[in-house]
Structure 1
């Protein structure tokens, strides 16, 4: 099974698209995970599409922009964002869908919109596990996944660790359900009190890193058992406010780009065997 690694645009927004694509390609990534808002100018749209083609980079469309609390307005914006991402011709779309305070039925209506867009475009849409969304906690996501067998996810388990204030050793059924439904990984190391440790390379975080690796190992093993030929991972150590900053100076304590490269290389080596 071939693993493809994707670089997030998040944290590199100060770079032009041209410089970003050069940096990503030089670092050995296979592609990028980016947003493609419907209100982008035509010039920027062409710049993105031409840059992807010129550097032979694959692309995952990322949706997070729909935050309107009014459900009817939210539905319309959600649909517009997903349709815009289809124009990227991505491998798939990764969507932070819904709200944690929407009713079960409201979030199901958003899944139905995504299903319709996926069916008409041929672009698969995954729904990310994320705080503040339909999937803000492991046990809540489990209920949706049991009700909707077709639902497929991007697993970012760091959020669930923070919400549960645990590494989910006592929620094995929910973790296993998520593993069975996972088609993409966001590789960030969260802990019991937050979605991102200060530096996953540090020895004091070894226990937490190993817990993530144990879960990711199970995802990869399942994909290999199922004879799947490709799988995608986005190392997603985040920019501020996820990234820790020094008090008063607001200078970053660690280097986001370097940590994501470290994670890419770690997983590439681990799963090449």
Structure 2
């Protein structure tokens, strides 16, 4: 049995614009793109056709909004499903909601997921229900069918520390992740300025270890695909020079480097078509 790593290019770098970008995405080795559906629903057919023409697939993002997060989720998911995504990654609920409100939201979300037949990953994200490892674990323990999109870089900012697999709540999230956002955080923020810089080598290693642990769990569960989106984002996520506001790094280069670096480490774990249990 093998499990293929499939890299997706986030359109966040271009604020969702895909026109004129897809050929370069495919040439760089990505198999698809990830972002919210086009801002204007009238553009949905063109967007899907352009993806098909380039033989690219789609991971859709949805971003729930109040006051009724469940209604917002359902409306966005049903629209996204029409674009035939392989997966939907959701910024779900809100951190200010009570535990009971969050539980009802995710129970409803599971019913929507069953209805559309497309996997949904609920992202670990600041401002959302899953903004810390322990809030995430509290929900996951109650809903065994719920899956997450692992963007543990947000926990660096929320917790002012690096996520550790020694933490039982982090381990639970690792075991329930079905999609990875490949961004490296540091104890004071969600995105290092340039992961290629030697001063961030330990941070990069911490995150690669977490991502590989997710891959191991997915392999052990019988998955044949692991999706990974390098997601270093534009300013203000990306640091800029004071006064000139010039970005300190090139996002295309940074994200491609992150994908290629992780892929090389991922490929090292394959031997005789098996993922080694070395973690």
Q: Same fold (TM over 0.5)?
A: yes
Find the partner of 1:162 among 154, 157, 160.
Answer: 157
Distance in 2 separating the partners of 1:63 and 1:170:
28
SS at 1:271's partner residue?
helix
Distance in 2 separating the partners of 1:181 and 1:170:
13
SS at 1:63's partner residue?
strand
2:7 maps to what in 1?
A: 5
1:141–1:131: structure 2 CA closer, same or farther, 3 Å change rule? Answer: same
TM-score by length of 2: 0.90
Distance in 1 separating the partners of 2:262 and 2:165:
26
1:28 maps to what in 2?
A: 29
SS at 2:125's partner residue?
coil
1:178 maps to what in 2?
A: 173
Length, aligned pairs only: 266
Contact in 1 for aligned 2:11/2:33 (Cα 8 Å) = yes
Distance in 2 separating the partners of 1:88 and 1:197:
33
RMSD over aligned Cα atoms:
1.6
SS at 1:19's partner residue?
coil
SS at 1:60's partner residue?
strand
Shift of 1:110: 2.2
Please list, as runs of the form range in 1=range in 2, the aligned pairs for 1:112-127 lying within 5 A after superposition.
112-127=107-122
SS at 2:94's partner residue?
coil
Distance in 2 separating the partners of 1:41 and 1:178:
34
Shift of 1:80: 1.2
SS at 2:178's partner residue?
strand
TM-score by length of 1: 0.92
Contact in 1 for aligned 2:6/2:227 (Cα 8 Å) = yes
2:40 maps to what in 1?
A: 40
Distance in 2 separating the partners of 1:128 and 1:22:
28
Find the partner of 1:264 among 249, 259, 276.
Answer: 259
Distance in 2 separating the partners of 1:184 and 1:212:
14
Distance in 2 separating the partners of 1:190 and 1:6:
20
Contact in 2 for aligned 1:189/1:212 (Cα 8 Å) = yes
